[in-house]
């Protein structure tokens, strides 16, 4: 683990029709970290990931990744630089088989000429990714038949086999059973141990407590607190934010 | 200067017909994501409605026939639209490209019906006497027919504006257009709203059909000529946007009128097309409503 | 173990394809010329030209989801390139084509000049459509113009092209187009006996185009193309530029249409705006829809079959043919989107509920399925 900041966000602003979804956010993630990002609904977590990956255009601020400015770059270039992400609502290619989904993802750096050749067999990287997420058995099935949880894993496999330097996971365990969560958490830890920096957006506090080292709390588009799980849970402002919304069951879980 | 003004006038009158045809398209497109390729045939149906009524009432009642044709063509167009929606389009929900193709098949059939009923050659509709002649303002001669068309479209536009803004039904239309699921969840009966939208949009096409009889003869392929231009208006103006459609129609009409004057009609068409592609380079959002929430 | 079985099955599939391909090729190249009269053979040659266009549409629309409603433009660019060359070849060095003389054109327009040379005109028949498609596709796809917008735009393009052709009489021959051809490379086109030479060339062209398209579809590129059809935005976040992926398929389809147009001219003896406008362009898509948009061979077969039936019926029952054509088309699109390629499946699925067979889950069903899955208790 080095100390160089891999991702450095300064004064980021995203505005939708006058509404500040992200409002002057600063965030630094170091190489090799597993960073958890939490915050109440609508805090702007997904919007932050969208801004990093080029899906929404920030109104201001800068996002530097490994020294390179990401703001204004096209989406596929950002991926090419080594930023991978999953989506809160998993999106997979339903007309392709599970294997083809992963293979398409794994081939993204091939020169165009090689794309024009057929796939022969399964590359190690693809097989490994499928085994990691436990979808090897289903590899010939069309992705359209997968359940929600399986789609989430398929997305993870797709992004894993791309070997990104920074992996952004948007609520990867939402809708999963306890056992599935455990497995996803372990996978996340292992990915990080192999040198990928991971940012996980998650609501489930059991999951956060179990797998997080550092946690960043967002609220109304800005950074509210940052520290270890214990530190964050002690933080008065964090308590206020969550207790101020008593009906938010997830908030209750945070301060529990 | 005179030429500038007279082309302005011609451009505006072309624009108003385009707009009338485009209005129905932009609503059904914006609300149901439906591209109805048979829309042009509703224009044709409106035109033939005028022809039939004139034939039935005889030469002495041309003016009356024309005025009766306006509401009747609205009903004919609207009825055709509702039937099409009910029989075919509803079954194709969620498949916009297939809807486009299937309605094109319907357009082919309707054209053939017109050919079999009214003959393959064009027929003439007589303009009512009160539209004979022209008025000269600032050296520009403005024919009453074109003035009438501009006024007619103005009235239709105002009526739609009021309908969308004031009436509960219009509000429901806007609600469904903005967010179908949310509207449905709040108790709006979306199928009913869809049918209504289709009725109004197709009815307007029928009215446009009456208007085009003032500009030339009526034939089975009349609608095709207007459809593509109307679609381009929709593309440039943006989905279900009244104001966008007005601006796009005026821009396209004027552009055509001026370039056509300087060169010829065919160059004007090609240039208009090039212009649209260039326009898309700078304002693609005039077209695509970007929703950043997740992926589409 | 299962992997071994998979490899074997894949091997079987390849052999199966090879056998089928060779059977069809033999039927086309050996059987047809032997059993068909010269007249019918030249008719079939015309249909095979259409089949070449259909293969391209199958690639762009069937695989890539781009509804190309303006292929008449590319067919026309190919056809006019060839037609211009043939006109100039006939006119002889320094002479003007006949229609220019009639419409009082004094000297050969500069655009025509290079088409005197076969080495320029013939490649242009394919390269010009490809260049136009590449430029237009890049401009349009980059701005994320897709779906129905793209369909309308491509249709508008064909419409504008036709208007220009008709309007520029002296340059293009106007409504009549280019016609009255008598020879090509010294080959007498009026002699029926030469029909089989032209036919063989078209048949070879179709087979070649089919193999190219199939390679594109079967390759990794083909998978990415389908992925783009499924969800263009998702592909972007896998590091591909969807613009590039789409432009390749669109350009290939344009080149195929251009090739078909170029071969069409010597066979049929005319290229004119009436063959290229909105209606003919959309008809090209109809062939593919009826044959089966998702299967290249069926797309080509659809073109041949529809035109064969059309030739048989449209002269005897012109009005009835149009009703039939329109109805069949509507029904196929609405209830049997797989076209003839899916017949076996529809039969298996039970004739009672043909609507049950779909190309894929409908967007709305998909969305509800997803919601339901999302609500499943953790
Ligand atoms: N495209 C958009 N247009 C308008 N508002 C948007 C858009 N995308 C997000 N928002 C708003 O921005 C705010 C932040 O949304 P975001 O999805 O980033 O929250 P989140 O922290 O991911 O919440 P959740 O936990 O529910 O996923 C919300 O209020 C949302 O309504
Ligand atoms: Mg979110």
Chain C from 314 to 343: CB within 8 A of any B CB: 319, 322-323, 325-327, 329-330, 333-334, 337
> Looking at residue C205, what is its pLDDT?
94
CA of A3 to the centre of ligand 2 (A): 28
Ligand nearest to the CA of B294: 1
Q: Closest ligand 1 atom to the C-alpha of A39?
A: 21
Q: Is B294 touching A (CB cutoff 8 A)?
A: yes
- Give the count of alpha carbons within 13 A of C340, CB side only: 17
Query: Tens digit of pLDDT for each residue in C75-99?
Result: 999 999 999 998 888 888 878 888 8
CB B203 within 8 A of CB B77: yes
Q: What is the reported pLDDT for C7? A: 55
The closest alpha carbon to A186, from A137, A153, A232, A154, belongs to A153
Q: Whose CA is nearest to atom 3 of ligand 1?
A: A16
- Distance from Cα A171 to the centre of ligand 1, integer Å: 14
pLDDT, one tens digit per residue, over C168-178 is 887 888 888 88
Residue A45 CB–ligand 1 contact under 6 Å? yes
Nearest to C68 by CA among C78, C60, C76: C60
E-strand ranges in chain A read 5-16, 19-30, 34-38, 60-65, 68-69, 83-85, 166-170, 197-201, 214-219, 222-228
Q: Is A234 a pocket residue for ligand 1 (Cβ < 6 Å)?
A: no
Give me the pLDDT at residue B10, please: 84
CB-nearest to C361 from A76, A89, A94 is A94
Domains of chain A (ranges, CATH numbers): 1-82+183-256 (3.40.50.300), 87-163 (no CATH)
pLDDT at A149: 84
CB proximity C366 to A under 8 Å: yes
CA–CA min distance C324, chain B (Å): 9
Pairing of strands A197-201, A166-170: parallel
Q: Please give the share of chain C, as a percent, with pLDDT higher than 90.
A: 40
SS3 state of residue B91 = helix
pLDDT of residue B288: 43
Average pLDDT over chain C, rounded to an integer: 83
Structural contact between residues C307 and C50, judged by C-beta atoms closer than 8 angstroms: yes
Ligand 1, atom 30: closest residue by C-alpha:
A42
Query: At a CB cut-off of 8 Å and minimum separation 6, what does A144 contact?
Result: A94, A95, C360, C361, C366
Beta pairing partners, A97: A142
Q: Using one digit for the tens of pLDDT, what is the confidence trace for A97-141?
A: 999 999 999 998 888 888 888 888 888 889 988 988 888 888 888
Which chain B residue has its CA at the smallest distance from A86's CA?
A: B294
Q: Is residue B258 part of a domain?
A: no
The helices-and-strands tally (H runs, E runs) of chain A is 11, 10
**B137 domain residue, yes or no:** yes
Residue C364 has pLDDT above 70, yes or no: no
For residue B255, what are the CA distances in angstroms to A27, C78, C165?
A: 51, 30, 20
Q: Examine the pLDDT at B1 and tell me if it is beyond 60.
A: yes
pLDDT at residue C341 greater than cutoff 50: yes
In-domain check, residue C6: no
Looking at the partner chain, which of A103, A140, A178 has a beta carbon nearest the beta carbon of C223?
Answer: A103
Chain C residues in contact with A105 by the CB 8 A cut-off are: 238
Distance (Å) from the alpha carbon of B28 to chain A's nearest alpha carbon: 26
Q: How far is the CA of A221 from the centre of ligand 1 (A)?
A: 9
Q: Is B265 on the interface with C (CB under 8 A)?
A: yes
- Evaluate whether residue C64 is within a structural domain: yes
Residue B271 to chain C, least CA–CA distance (Å): 9
Decide whether any atom of ligand 1 lies within 6 Å of the A43 Cβ. yes
* A121 neighbourhood in chain C, CB within 8 Å: 7
C231–A93 CB contact, under 8 Å: yes
Distances (CA, A) of C73 to A8, A182, C149, C278: 50, 58, 18, 10
Q: Which of B71-80, B243-252, B280-289 has the highest mean pLDDT?
A: B71-80
- The answer to whether the CB of C230 falls within 8 A of the CB of A95 is yes
Residue C270 tokens read as: 């005319």
More confident residue, C9 or C295: C295
B262-270 — which CB contacts under 8 Å span 24+ positions?
A: B264/C167, B265/C163, B265/C167, B266/C163, B266/C164, B266/C166, B266/C167, B266/C168, B267/C164, B267/C167, B269/C159, B269/C160, B269/C163, B269/C164, B270/C160, B270/C161, B270/C163, B270/C164
End-to-end CA distance of chain B, in Å?
50
pLDDT band at residue C220 under the 50/70/90 scheme: very high
Confidence at C316, pLDDT banded by 50, 70, 90: confident
User: In the predicted model, what is the mean pLDDT of chain B?
Assistant: 84
C189 inside domain: yes
Confidence of residue B287 (pLDDT cuts 50, 70, 90): very low
For range C277-306, the mean pLDDT:
91
pLDDT over 70, % of chain A: 93
Question: Is the shortest distance between the CB of B290 and ligand 1 below 6 Å?
Answer: no
CB contact under 8 A, C139 and B281: yes
Q: Residue B232: inside a domain, yes or no?
A: no
Q: pLDDT value at position C190?
A: 67
CA distance C210 to chain B (A): 25
- CA diameter of chain A: 59
Write out pLDDT tens, residues B97-127.
Answer: 899 999 999 999 999 999 999 888 888 888 8
Residues in chain B: 296
C34 has a chain A CB within 8 A of its CB: no
Cβ contacts of C167 on chain B, cutoff 8 Å: 264-267
Tens of pLDDT, residues A36-55: 998 888 888 999 999 999 98
Give the pLDDT confidence score for residue B285 in this predicted structure.
56
Tens digits of per-residue pLDDT, B34-43? Answer: 888 999 999 9
How many interface pairs between B and C have CB atoms less than 8 angstroms apart?
A: 134
Name A87's Cβ contacts closer than 8 Å, sequence gap at least 6.
Answer: A155, A170, B294, B295, C234, C237
- Pocket lining: A216 vs ligand 1, CB cutoff 6 Å: no
Instruction: Tell me how far apart the alpha carbons of residues A75 and B292 are, in angstroms, rounded to a whole number.
Output: 13
Mean pLDDT of C269-294: 90
pLDDT tens profile A143-155: 989 888 888 889 9
If DSSP codes are grouped into helix, strand and coil, which group holds residue B183? helix
When divided into structural domains, chain C yields a total of: 1
Ligand 1 contact via A39 beta carbon (within 6 Å): yes
Percent of chain C whose pLDDT exceeds 70 = 86
Query: What is the predicted pLDDT for the residue at B284?
Result: 59
Query: Which among A92, A188, A192 has a CA at the least distance from the CA of A132?
Result: A188
- Judged by a CB distance cut-off of 8 A, whether residue C101 touches chain B is no
Contacts C3 to A, Cβ<8 Å: 122
CB B212 within 8 A of CB B73: no
C69 close to C151: Cβ distance less than 8 angstroms = yes
For chain B, how many structural domains are there in total?
1
Whether B18 maps to a domain, the answer reads yes
Nearest residue of C to residue A159 by CA position? C238
B194 φ/ψ angles, rounded to the nearest 5 degrees: -60, -45
Closest alpha carbon to C96 in C162, C165, C171: C171
**CB-based contact A140 C215, cutoff 8 Å:** no
The enclosing H or E element of B146 equals: helix B144-166
CA A174 to centroid of ligand 1, rounded, Å: 17
Would an 8 Å CB–CB cutoff place A80 in contact with chain C?
A: yes
DSSP-derived secondary structure letter, B134:
E
Do C376 and A148 lie within an 8 Å CB cutoff?
A: yes
pLDDT at C53 > cutoff 50: yes
| Residue-level pLDDT at C76 | 95
Asked whether residue B75 carries a pLDDT value surpassing 90, the answer given is yes
Where helices occur in chain C by DSSP H, the ranges are 2-26, 32-35, 38-57, 71-91, 98-102, 118-142, 147-167, 169-172, 195-218, 220-230, 232-236, 242-268, 278-291, 296-314, 318-335, 343-348, 363-375
Ligand 1 binding pocket includes A44 (Cβ within 6 Å) = yes
Band of pLDDT at residue C64, cut at 50, 70 and 90: very high
Most B CBs within 10 Å, among A14, A51, A55, A87, to test the B interface:
A55
CB contact under 8 A, C238 and A140: no
The whole domain housing B193 covers 2-223
Contacts of A15 in chain B (CB under 8 A): none
Q: Does the CB atom of residue B293 touch ligand 1 within 6 A?
A: yes
Q: Does the beta carbon of B119 lie under 8 angstroms from any beta carbon of chain C?
A: no
Tally A–C CB contacts below 8 A.
Answer: 106
pLDDT at A246: 44
All chains having 3 or more CB pairs closer than 8 angstroms to chain C = A, B
What is the span of the domain harbouring residue C226?
36-277
Which of the given ranges, B13-27, C22-36, C124-138, C139-153, has the highest pLDDT on average?
A: C124-138
Structural contact between residues A149 and A176, judged by C-beta atoms closer than 8 angstroms: yes
Does C311 fall in a domain? no
Highest mean pLDDT among A147-156, B198-207, C11-20, C322-331: B198-207
Q: Which residues of C touch A87 (CB under 8 A)?
A: 234, 237
Q: Which residues of B touch A87 (CB under 8 A)?
A: 294-295
Confidence of residue C136 (pLDDT cuts 50, 70, 90): very high
* Beta-carbon separation of C322 and B108 below 8 A: yes
B295 touches chain A (CB under 8 A): yes
Cα–Cα distance for residue pair C58/C338, rounded to 1 Å: 12
Mean pLDDT computed over every residue of chain A: 85
Give the model's pLDDT for residue C365: 40
């Amino acid at each position: 683990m080095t100390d160089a900041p891999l991702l450095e966000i300064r004064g980021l602003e995203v505005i939708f029709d006058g509404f500040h979804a992200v409002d002057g956010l600063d965030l630094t993630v170091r190489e090799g970290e597993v960073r958890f990002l939490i915050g109440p609904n609508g805090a702007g977590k997904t919007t932050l990931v969208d801004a990093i990956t080029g899906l929404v255009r920030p109104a201001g601020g800068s996002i530097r990744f490994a020294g390179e400015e990401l703001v204004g770059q096209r989406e596929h270039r950002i991926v090419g630089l080594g930023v991978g992400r999953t989506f809160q609502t998993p999106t997979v290619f339903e007309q392709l088989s599970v294997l083809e989904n992963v293979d398409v993802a794994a081939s993204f750096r091939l020169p165009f000429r090689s794309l024009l050749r057929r796939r022969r067999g399964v590359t190690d990287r693809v097989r490994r990714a499928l085994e990691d997420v436990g979808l090897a058995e289903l590899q010939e099935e069309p992705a359209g038949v997968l359940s929600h949880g399986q789609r989430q894993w398929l997305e993870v496999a797709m992004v894993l086999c791309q070997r990104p330097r920074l992996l952004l996971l948007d609520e990867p365990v939402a809708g999963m059973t306890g056992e599935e969560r455990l497995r996803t958490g372990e996978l996340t830890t292992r990915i990080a141990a192999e040198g990928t920096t991971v940012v996980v957006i998650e609501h489930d506090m059991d999951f956060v407590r179990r797998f997080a080292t550092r946690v960043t709390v967002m609220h109304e588009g800005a950074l509210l607190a940052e520290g270890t799980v214990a530190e964050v849970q002690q933080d008065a402002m964090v308590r206020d934010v969550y207790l101020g919304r008593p009906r938010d069951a997830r908030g209750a879980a945070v301060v529990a | 200067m005179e030429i500038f003004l007279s082309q302005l006038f011609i451009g505006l009158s072309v624009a108003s017909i385009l707009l009338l045809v485009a209005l129905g398209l932009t609503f059904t497109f914006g609300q149901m994501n439906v591209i109805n390729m048979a829309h042009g045939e509703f224009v044709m149906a409106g035109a033939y409605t005028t022809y039939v009524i004139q034939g039935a009432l005889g030469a002495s009642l041309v003016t009356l026939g024309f005025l009766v044709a306006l509401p009747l063509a609205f009903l004919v167009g609207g009825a055709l639209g509702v039937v099409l929606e009910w029989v075919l389009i509803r079954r194709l929900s969620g498949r916009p490209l297939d809807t486009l193709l299937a309605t094109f098949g319907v357009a082919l059939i309707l054209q053939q019906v017109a050919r079999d009923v009214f003959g393959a050659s064009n027929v003439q509709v007589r303009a009512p006497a009160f539209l004979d002649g022209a008025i000269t303002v600032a050296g520009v001669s403005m024919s009453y027919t074109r003035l009438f068309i501009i006024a007619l479209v103005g009235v239709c536009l105002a009526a739609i504006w009021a309908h969308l803004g004031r009436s509960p039904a219009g509000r429901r239309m806007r609600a469904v257009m903005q967010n179908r699921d949310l509207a449905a969840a709040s108790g709006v009966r979306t199928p009913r709203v869809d049918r209504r939208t289709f009725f109004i949009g197709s009815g307007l096409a029928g009215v446009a059909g009456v208007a085009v009889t003032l500009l030339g003869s009526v034939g089975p392929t009349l609608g095709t000529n207007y459809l593509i231009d109307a679609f381009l208006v929709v593309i440039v103006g943006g989905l279900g946007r009244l104001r966008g459609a007005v601006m796009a129609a005026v821009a396209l009409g004027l552009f055509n009128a001026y370039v056509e004057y300087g060169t010829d009609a065919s160059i004007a068409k090609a240039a208009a097309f090039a212009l649209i592609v260039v326009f898309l380079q700078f304002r693609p959002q005039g077209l695509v409503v970007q929703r950043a929430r997740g992926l589409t | 173990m299962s992997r071994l079985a998979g490899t074997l099955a894949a091997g079987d599939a390849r052999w199966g394809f090879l056998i089928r391909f060779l059977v069809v090729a033999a039927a086309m190249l050996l059987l047809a010329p032997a059993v068909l009269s010269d007249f019918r053979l030249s008719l079939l040659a015309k249909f095979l030209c259409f089949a070449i266009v259909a293969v391209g549409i199958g690639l762009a629309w069937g695989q890539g989801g781009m509804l190309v409603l303006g292929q008449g433009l590319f067919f026309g660019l190919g056809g006019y390139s060839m037609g211009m060359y043939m006109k100039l070849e006939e006119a002889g060095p320094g002479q003007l084509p006949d229609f220019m003389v009639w419409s009082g054109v004094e000297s050969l327009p500069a655009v025509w000049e290079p088409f005197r040379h076969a080495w320029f005109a013939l490649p242009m028949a394919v390269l010009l459509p490809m260049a136009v498609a590449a430029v237009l596709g890049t401009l349009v796809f980059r701005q994320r113009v897709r779906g129905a917008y793209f369909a309308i735009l491509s249709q508008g393009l064909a419409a504008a092209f036709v208007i220009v052709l008709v309007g520029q009489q002296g340059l293009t021959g106007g409504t009549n187009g280019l016609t009255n051809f008598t020879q090509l490379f010294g080959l007498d086109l009026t002699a029926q006996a030469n029909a089989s030479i032209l036919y063989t060339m078209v048949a070879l062209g179709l087979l070649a185009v089919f193999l190219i398209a199939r390679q594109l579809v079967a390759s990794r590129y083909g998978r990415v193309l389908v992925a783009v059809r499924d969800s263009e935005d998702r592909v972007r976040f896998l590091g591909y530029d969807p613009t590039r992926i789409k432009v390749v398929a669109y350009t290939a389809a344009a080149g195929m249409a251009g090739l078909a147009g170029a071969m069409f001219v010597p066979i049929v003896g005319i290229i004119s705006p009436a063959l290229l406008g909105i209606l003919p362009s959309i008809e090209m898509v109809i062939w593919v829809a009826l044959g089966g948009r998702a299967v290249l061979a069926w797309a080509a077969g659809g073109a041949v079959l529809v035109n064969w039936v059309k030739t048989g019926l449209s002269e005897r029952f012109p009005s009835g043919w149009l009703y039939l054509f329109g109805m069949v088309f509507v029904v196929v699109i609405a209830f049997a989107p797989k076209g003839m390629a899916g017949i076996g499946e529809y039969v298996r699925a039970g004739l009672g509920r043909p609507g049950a067979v779909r190309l894929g889950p409908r967007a709305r069903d998909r969305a509800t399925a997803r919601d339901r899955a999302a609500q499943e208790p953790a």
